[in-house]
Structure 1
Amino acid sequence: MKGRNRIQWYNVALLAFCLTACQVKRPKDVLPDAKMENVLYDYHIAKAMGEEVPYNESYKRQLYIESVFKKQGITQAIFDSSMVWYARNPETFTKIYEKVNLRLKAERDGINHLIAMRDNKPKESLPGDSIDVWAWQHIYQLTGMPLNNKITFTLPSDSNFHDRDTLRWSVRFRFHNGAPDSAYAPTMAMQILYENDSIISSMQKVKKTGIETISLSGDSIGKIKEVRGFIYYPLQKVSKSLLTDRISLMRYHATDTLLNVKKDSIAEPQIKKDTVAATPAEVKKPDDEKTLRQEVRPRPRLRQSAN
């Protein structure tokens, strides 16, 4: 009996030793978790700034990245070797990126403001009933890797946004080596945040090459605060790059005259999801206010005669 117990304890000790020996040791040239978090945080800010520079100043993109390495006291080789090691240890890498994303979201508004000031972007969009308000690149290529798997935007409203505007985001998707399986298909999402904190949103999977569109509008929610959206391309089993182009974000003003009519008299038209508000040519306007009052006049009630 004692012999069996000794054998069992020996097996347990041997198993523990094997597990310890099989653990992946971190090389000396791999950055610690906290340091890697700081590097990735600065790296993504620098990369976002580089994407905003004009084509004739593209050399600045590499200067932004090099400034991150200089600030953090590392080299390109140390960063590359660290990225390779963390990619082979996805659990650790995921935890680091969760912290990085939280920091980026917390600083998003301030970063967008600084980028707008640096690039001297106009503070207001153009006026008009049908305007493309997309202010970023019109073509992106995603690979699904952690540093190149997402497109995000945040567009604050301005004085040219109206209460009942429709926002329509269109993107053409082109897959290399065929479209991915549904589980690995990219996700496209957009939401509108209103000043009263109401939110309307829509999300869809992109399963084939072609133009995909998300259309959102709020009939009576109030003033728009900002419009947000993203495209997320998950890591693929087999390398399949994704090209997105012909990107537009159209803003359509509501063109009907129903706001001048009491809601009790006539119901407001509802804009269905993924549709665009009617253009001026499609809306029949009355010749004058008198005609409008005649159109919405309630029917007279029939009086019942006394028996």
Structure 2
Amino acid sequence: MSRYLYTLLIVLILASCSTRPRVPGSLPDEEKMAQVLADIYQVESILGQTRLSYNSGKEDKVSGYYRYVLEEHQMTKVEFDTAMSWYSANPTVLTDVYEEVIEILSRREAEIKNKINKEKDERKALAKIPSKTSLWNDSTSFELPFDAKDSLDNRVPFDVEVDSLSNGIVRLSASYSFKEGGFLDSAQMQMMVSYADSTVDTIQYQIHKSFKKVSGNLTHRVDKSKTLTHLEGYLFEHDTSKHSVVKIEDVKLTFIPTIGAADMSLR
């Protein structure tokens, strides 16, 4: 008896399978059709949000969106209409296609939401990064010599009190153009960084004579365990009474707070 029941079950399974037609080879298969329909529905959603419809008097523009979708899938309008006619005549297959369309659109919606959330998180992270602070309180350009008889004054000293800064980078920069008539072949930028614990770091940058504009740059990292209180030094330090004819421009002294300063490379 069980053998007859088994045989009947096989017959019923085969009968149920035979009622679902196969997609003709000349038409896009179910997966391809689902992709096309998903793109079309996405276009229609965008058109709906922008209030652009066939009733808006912009039929050519709307049709262009649909043509673009079909071209992306290498299909003509005739091929799409033919495929839709067949699928519409076979609702059991079309139902499966629409289920796949829903899955595709759901995945895309989730991807868009994840992207939006990621961008929000990135904007929040950027908002937390402190901006740099300008510390320079003097003129940003100088013509040397101020006085050919006063070599000390021609070093262009600076002295800046700061308000307890830590965990960041101090950067002093300027550009130098040597002129004819000077005697010095080189000079230095020099900066002394003083901390609340009475320690001092001294940093220097060598400026070599050039009749073209050259850049000078002093960069010093202030560890988060230290508190910066005072900056002083010279834009044009030298150890001679001889003077040089030089133009100093674009002077900047900035403090750049950092997050994870130990991981930041100096440039």
Q: TM-score, structure 2 length as denominator?
A: 0.43
| Structure with max Cα Rg | 2
Structure having the higher strand fraction is 2
Q: Using CA pairs below 8 Å that are at least 6 residues apart, which structure has the higher relative contact order?
A: 2
